[in-house]
Amino acid sequence: MLKTTLAGLRAHKLRLILTSLAITLGVGFISGTFVLTDTIQAGFTQSFTAAADKVDVAVIPAKDEKRSQEGPLTVPMELLDRVKGVEGVAAAVGVGRERTALIGKDGKVVGSMVTTWGVPVVEGELNRTEIVTGRAPKAGNEAVLDESTAKTRGFTVGETITVLDVRQQKHRFTLVGLFKLGVDQELSHGGAVGYTSETFQRMAQPTGFREIDVLAKDGVSAETLRAAVAAAVGAKGEAITGQTLMEKMADGNGVEIDFITYGLLLFGAVAMLVAGLVIYNTFNILVAQRTREMALLRCIGSTRSQVFRSILLESAVVGLLASVAGLLLGLGLGAAAIQVINATGSPMPAGTVTLTVTSTAAGLLTGLVVTVVAALLPARAATGVAPIAALRTQVEENAFRSGVLRWVFTGLFLILGVGVTVAGITMPPGAGGLFTVAGGGVLVFFAVLIIGPVLVKPLSRLTGFLPAYLFGVPGRLAVDNSTRNPKRSATTTIALTIGVTLMTLISVVSASVQASSDARLDRQYPVDYVLMAIGDREATIPRSVAETLRTKPEFGTVVAFREHTRPVTTDNNSFVSVGTIVGPIKTIAQEGWTGDPGPDQAILSLGTAGKLGVKAGDTMEIKTRSGRMEKVTVSGTYDREKMPGSDVLLQESTFHRYYGATEDIRVVVKMTDGAAPEAARKVVESVIADLPTVQVSSTTEIRGEFNDSINNVLMVMAGLLGLAVLISLLGIANTLSLSVHERTRESALLRALGLTRPQLRVMLSLEAFVLGLIGALIGVVLGLVFGWAAVQTMQDKPIFQAAPLHIAAFIVLSGLAGVLASLLPARRAARASIVNSLASG
Amino acid sequence: MTLTDIHREAPPAVVARSLTKVYGQGDAAVHALRGVDVAFTTGAFTAIMGPSGSGKSTLMHCLAGLDTVTSGSVHIGDTVVTGLSDKELTMLRRDRIGFIFQAFNLLPTLSAEQNIRLPLDIAGRQADPALFDRVVDTVGLRDRLSHKPAELSGGQQQRVAVARALIGRPQVIFADEPTGNLDSRSGAEVLSFLRTSVRELQQTIVMVTHDPVAASYADRVVFLRDGLLVSDVHQPTPQIIHDTLMKLES
Ligand SMILES: Nc1ncnc2c1ncn2[C@@H]1O[C@H](COP(=O)(O)OP(=O)(O)OP(=O)(O)O)[C@@H](O)[C@H]1O
Ligand SMILES: [Mg+2]
């Protein structure tokens, strides 16, 4: 039996290749993901190991739930001397990290949300900073910069750079070297400037260390030293070995790697699902076409189980070969992705391409299992072939009738799916609702899968109307042919449907998110310019800015926001932000602003009021800067959707009494009617020209940035889903070529009766076009419905936007893609000799 | 009217001169036709007979422009078939030739009527309604027009094929063993339709057959052996045909 199977496979190389390609692509994607993440993981481990080798013991901040709310935990500075005094310590350094903002060549702070870090470059063996160009800073007026910031901002060694210290004072340094950011995700987010330890103290004025690194004397084991250090620091810090430190760092980064892995694997799974459908369909057709062959085998004494096994064997061989090819493809894809990552200079430690044994096995097994499972049903159908079928001359047309059972199951899944979806929609907005809707979507998809063969006919009438009208006989025949075998057509198109559904869903959701964010910005920012300070919480805008702007005739309304830099404790032990608004806020926040707060009154955002469980008229206590609890009366609430602001808003004088006369954190301005936007912008820019941390953006810019980022996400997702679509196109090509093969004699007859070669090609292409359109149509409907449902779960007052242009493009492209898939089979069919084809069968 | 009179009155519809056809090359070459000279009279029903492998189907395919010839020429009416491009051949078949094959003559997705009209539809021509009615009634398919081929018997399917070949009023109809798959009664029906169409519509028909009885419906039978025309019988009877065949096969 094995011999028969293998001979059969060899005899149909092309079919084998087409079938395998679907699996190969899926497995290639999955193993490519593994290659990528394995390589990055290996790079991380390598870097961390290198780091851990240098440090024997590290002291990290003791855990403190409460304090961690107020900012990153630190190790008290006085511990350093204590640690240095411990027996067996060769050297110890405190490592800190604060935001010290580098000023770019445009005079503005580098970075849009966060500024660059400042770090000390320690001397001696404990140095973990890798200088790649130049040298480490030695004097107080020297500094080094990370490579990638230097590259993007155009700084070179020897230049002078200007950096703001934590008090926003400018300092100038000579750039003496560039260093590698390495694997530190926190540092890589923003870039970093390195100083000598003393300069760092001066610039950053840290109140504690992030970490104290300790080097053991020769002959002192890390564990012994750890115990000694632990005893010395007591409860003020936690002493761990370098090994543990490495594991902790790896864990932190591992989360991100896992995120990438799972994200990519999700797309891989979709691709494999589509590949499974393609395989299922292919084997179904093969079984149908080989009915006679198999019946003959049965006639000469093969048992049912032998027939079954021979088909499974064939699928296993196909699956294995395809998976091996996929693995190779994956290696190539992964390597290419790593090249891209390296070229873009992202802080991923990508070294040599790595593929672990587990990942290899996972890739191979996925391909094999999907193929064999997809072939199970067709194989079972093959066992039903009666020996007598060998004697029938004509293979029966696969007559299809929609049985009661089909309707019952469709109804069941549909009702269930709709029920779950509705339940998801009615849930409060959030991930729970979204996942429920996704579950409902899967159920409804099953309903569509089951009822697919019934849908094919009416849908092909619908989509085939125009082609049949335009192309005459070839068009009409194409539409007829597309539904000749409804089951086959349904499976072929559903494979495409999956990709189109997800693409539609994503574009609908992102269009809706965009629309609602636009709407929110419309409501929230009826202002023209927003001035913000970049940097950490301490970053502020001098009050003089708002005051100067108020004197300018271009601006009618100038409103300043102030906020206490630290979270404030309330009487029921929550943390809230407390701020005040200076200026005619009423003219901006028309609705939803109940009125300015009076003395010792507070206005709460709706969310805060809910969280604290208070309403207008209640009183609450807040901790002031001096540590006293002060009572304020809640005078009203406001909608943060309509106006951004602190959790708790006080009257200006009350705020100043409790938290001091702070600077502004945000200033919004509105132009007077008739003021020229360009001139107004120039005025704003001139006012903030000397303030590197203050950035101005117009509301249109804010909107544009947001829309850009959504579009980027959309493109990446579409690209990843493209694979699933590509595989489904292979499915169309495969189905079509098998159908063409089945109808060889028919095509020859048509040619004999006067159908030209181009007409025959058009006929086959139109068939694929109709199939593509059917798949797209179902996909678009599903995508729209569930896109709508998903949007309902995402916001309180969702705005639904259908993205009609994208959808039209999906439909047209699917049809054209179908045509593309048909080109090869159609060419072969048109080339076939009429006489030979007539004689075949 | 003598035979020579017929020749004089009507020019031949199809003429083949020194037709040869070689399949394959070198040692594997098969000489299916070795120089056939034959003319088929307009408005006549001619049968081609011969032992299996003698080249009957090959001759028919070459005459109908379905296959290329190795050397020699074929004329249909004034047109030189040999040397036409694929597109011109397709047009020729579509507009001027009718076909009836042994089996699988019909498109399974189309109804009987659609199958009958198919060549005209492909050409974008309208069927002459009077002719359509006449043909449909002649072949007796009036109440079967909306049926799909799967719902028709083998004999009915062949009658649909005959109707399809007749409806375009082609210059010549080629039939390759049209009754090969039918029982004798259905076969006789189909053959008498063919003969009726020759008599009443002056249709030219060239038919390949194995069956002496089928051949006896024709006005003339030509015999092939090993790719050569070896005998030519006018107004044949089953007995003469049978005797000639026996002689050829011995
Ligand atoms: N495509 C082909 N390639 C090679 N040889 C062929 C091909 N078609 C036919 N032949 C050979 O040409 C010769 C004539 O074949 P043809 O089909 O014309 O015979 P036939 O008279 O129609 O026979 P039958 O009565 O069995 O149908 C045969 O020897 C056959 O083997
Ligand atoms: Mg033959």
For the segment(s) B3-249, the CATH number from 3.10.180.10, 2.40.10.340, 2.70.70.10, 3.40.50.300 is 3.40.50.300
Q: How far is CA A548 from the centre of its chain?
A: 43
Instruction: Retrieve residue A599's tokens.
Output: 């003395």
Work out the minimum CA distance from B8 to partner chain A, whole angstroms: 32
CA distances from B130 to A32, A81, A262, A511, B43 (A): 69, 115, 72, 61, 21
pLDDT at B107: 87
- Please give the Cα distance from A378 to A426 (Å, whole number): 41
Spatial distance between the Cα atoms of A237 and A219, rounded to a whole number of angstroms: 25
Q: Do A752 and B95 touch (CB under 8 A)?
A: no
Contact A751 B118 (CB under 8 A): no
Any atom of ligand 1 within 6 Å of the Cβ of B52: yes
| Mean pLDDT value across chain A | 82
Q: Where are the beta strands (DSSP E) in chain B?
A: 12-23, 30-41, 45-49, 71-76, 79-80, 97-100, 172-176, 205-208, 220-225, 228-234
Amino acid at site A108: K
Residue A395: per-residue pLDDT = 47
Q: Is the pLDDT of residue B51 over 50?
A: yes
Ligand number, closest to the Cα atom of B61: 1
pLDDT computed for residue A5 by the predictor: 64
Model confidence pLDDT, tens digit, residues A83-133: 888 888 888 888 888 888 888 887 778 776 677 888 888 877 778 788 888
Cα B141 from Cα B131, distance rounded (Å): 14
Q: What is the pLDDT of residues A682-702, one digit of tens each?
A: 888 888 887 878 888 877 777
Mean pLDDT, residues B29-57 taken together: 90
Mutate-to-test residue for ligand 1 from B23, B52, B68, highest number of ligand atoms within 8 A of CB? B23
Is the distance from the beta carbon of residue B30 to the nearest atom of ligand 1 less than 6 Å?
yes
Q: State whether the beta carbon of B207 lies less than 6 angstroms from ligand 1.
A: no
Query: Three-state DSSP class for A617?
Result: coil
Lowest model confidence (mean pLDDT) among A690-704, A725-739, B182-196, B212-226:
A690-704
Please, what sign has the CA dihedral across residues A551, A552, A555, A561?
negative
- Has residue A348 got a pLDDT over 60? no
| Portion of chain B with pLDDT greater than 70, in percent | 96
Ligand 1 atom nearest to CA at B56: 21
C-alpha span between A44 and A52 (Å, rounded): 12
Task: Give the dihedral of Cα atoms A281, A286, A292, A296; nearest 10 deg.
Answer: -120
The percentage of residues in chain B with a pLDDT greater than 90, rounded to a whole number, is 24
Cβ–ligand 1 contact at B55 (below 6 Å): yes
Atom 31, ligand 1: residue with shortest CA distance: B53
Judged against a pLDDT cut of 90, whether residue A232 lies above it is answered with: no
- Please indicate whether, in this complex, the C-beta atoms of B66 and A835 are within 8 angstroms of each other: yes
What's the predicted TM-score (pTM) here?
0.74
At A8, is the pLDDT very low, low, confident or very high (cuts 50, 70, 90)? Answer: low
CB contact under 8 A, B107 and A749: yes
Q: Is the pLDDT of residue A424 over 80?
A: yes
Q: Which residues of A touch B66 (CB under 8 A)?
A: 752, 834-835, 838
- How crowded is the C-beta side of A393, counted as CA atoms within 13 Å? 5
Length of chain A: 841
Cα A425 to Cα A413, A430, A641, A644, distances in angstroms: 18, 10, 21, 27
Cβ density class A113-135: b for 16+ within 10 Å, e for less: ebbbbbbbbbeeebebbebebbe
Predicted confidence at residue B3, as pLDDT, reads 47
User: What are the chain A neighbours of B101 within 8 Å (beta carbons)?
Assistant: 749, 752, 838
The predicted structure's pLDDT at residue A351? 61
Q: Do B104 and A749 touch (CB under 8 A)?
A: yes
Q: Is A107 left (phi over 0), alpha (psi -120 to 50) or beta?
A: left
Mean pLDDT lowest among A18-32, B111-125, B153-167: A18-32
Q: What's the rounded Cα separation, in Å, for the pair B69 and B80? A: 12
Collect all residues of chain B within an 8 Å Cβ-Cβ radius of residue A754: 90-91, 93-95, 119, 122-123
Q: Which residue from B21, B34, B36, B56 has its CB within 8 A of the most atoms of ligand 1, so it is best to mutate?
A: B56
Band of pLDDT at residue B20, cut at 50, 70 and 90: very high
CB count within 10 Å of CB A238 equals: 16
DSSP codes joined into one string, B120-133: HHHHTPPP-HHHHH
pLDDT of residue B2: 44
Q: Do residues B182 and B105 make contact, with C-beta atoms less than 8 angstroms apart?
A: no
- Is the Cβ atom of B32 under 6 angstroms away from ligand 1? yes
Of residues A125, A138, A43, the one with CA closest to residue A91: A125
Question: Cβ distance A178 to A147 under 8 Å?
Answer: yes
Query: According to the model, what pLDDT value does residue B173 have?
Result: 93
SS (H, E, C) A212-268: EEEEECCCCCHHHHHHHHHHHHHHHEEEEEHHHHHHHHHHHHHHHHHHHHHHHHHHH
Which member of A473, A753, A835 has the closest CB to residue B99? A753
Measured distance CA(A456)–CA(A479) in Å, rounded? 11
Per-domain residue ranges for chain B? 3-249
CA distance A749 to chain B (A): 7
pLDDT at B247: 84
For residues A816 and A496, the answer to whether their CB atoms sit within 8 Å is: no
Indicate if ligand 1 lies below 6 Å from the C-beta of B50. yes
What residue type is A34 in one-letter code?
F
User: Nearest residue on chain B to A830, judged by CA atoms?
Assistant: B86
**CA–CA gap between residue A320 and residue A725 (Å, rounded):** 23
Ligand 1 pocket check for B58: Cβ under 6 Å: yes
pLDDT at B5: 47
A340 vs A670: CA distance, rounded Å? 44
Q: Per-residue pLDDT tens for A428-476?
A: 777 788 888 888 988 999 999 888 888 888 998 888 888 888 888 888 8
Q: What pLDDT shows up at residue A538?
A: 67
DSSP A334-400: HHHHHHHHHHHT-S----S----HHHHHHHHHHHHHHHHHHHHHHHHHHHT--GGGGG-SSPPP---
Residue B191 identity (one-letter amino acid): L
Cβ contacts from A onto B, under 8 A: 68
* ipTM of the complex, rounded to two decimals: 0.87
Mean pLDDT on B181-204: 87
* Angstroms from B2 CA to nearest CA on chain A: 36
Q: Please tell me which residue of chain A has the smallest CA distance to B105.
A: A749
In this predicted structure, what is the pLDDT of residue A142? Answer: 92
> With contacts defined as CB-CB under 8 Å, which chain B residues touch A484?
108-109
Q: Which atom of ligand 1 is nearest to the CA of B227?
A: 14
Closest CB to A754 among B107, B110, B119: B119
8 Å CB contact between B64 and B208: no
d(CA A533, CA A695): 6
Does the pLDDT of residue A217 top 50, yes or no? yes
Q: What is the mean pLDDT of residues A782-789?
A: 91
Verify whether the Cβ–Cβ distance A749 to B66 is below 8 Å: no
pLDDT at A349: 58
Q: Is the CB of B53 under 6 A from ligand 1?
A: yes
Ligand nearest to the CA of B67: 1
Instruction: Starting from the CA of residue B25, give the closest ligand.
Output: 1
Q: Classify A119 as helix, strand or coil.
A: strand
Degrees, nearest 5: CA angle A133-A138-A142: 70
Q: Average pLDDT of A672-686? A: 82
DSSP A453-487: HHHHHHHHHHHHHHHHHHHHHHHHHHHHHHTSSHH
Q: How many C-beta neighbours within 10 Å does residue A435 have?
A: 13
The predicted-structure confidence for A13-36, as pLDDT tens digits, reads as follows 666 777 788 888 888 888 888 887
Q: Which residue of A has its CA nearest to B168?
A: A753
- The residue nearest atom 28 of ligand 1, judged by CA position, is B53
| Integer CA distances (angstroms), A76 to A59, A689, B205, in order | 10, 38, 109
Mean pLDDT of the region A763-784: 91
Residue B10 confidence (pLDDT): 66
- Of ligand 1's atoms, which has the minimum distance to the CA of residue B23? 4
Report the alpha-carbon distance of residue A715 to residue A702 in Å, rounded. 20
CA of A815 to the centre of ligand 1 (A): 43
CB distance B54 to ligand 1 below 6 Å: yes
Strand locations in A672-724, DSSP E?
694-698
Whether B7 has a pLDDT exceeding 60, the answer reads: no
CB-CB contact of B113 with B156 (8 Å): no
As a whole number, mean pLDDT of residues A602-616 equals 86
CB-ligand 1 contact for B104 (6 Å cutoff): no
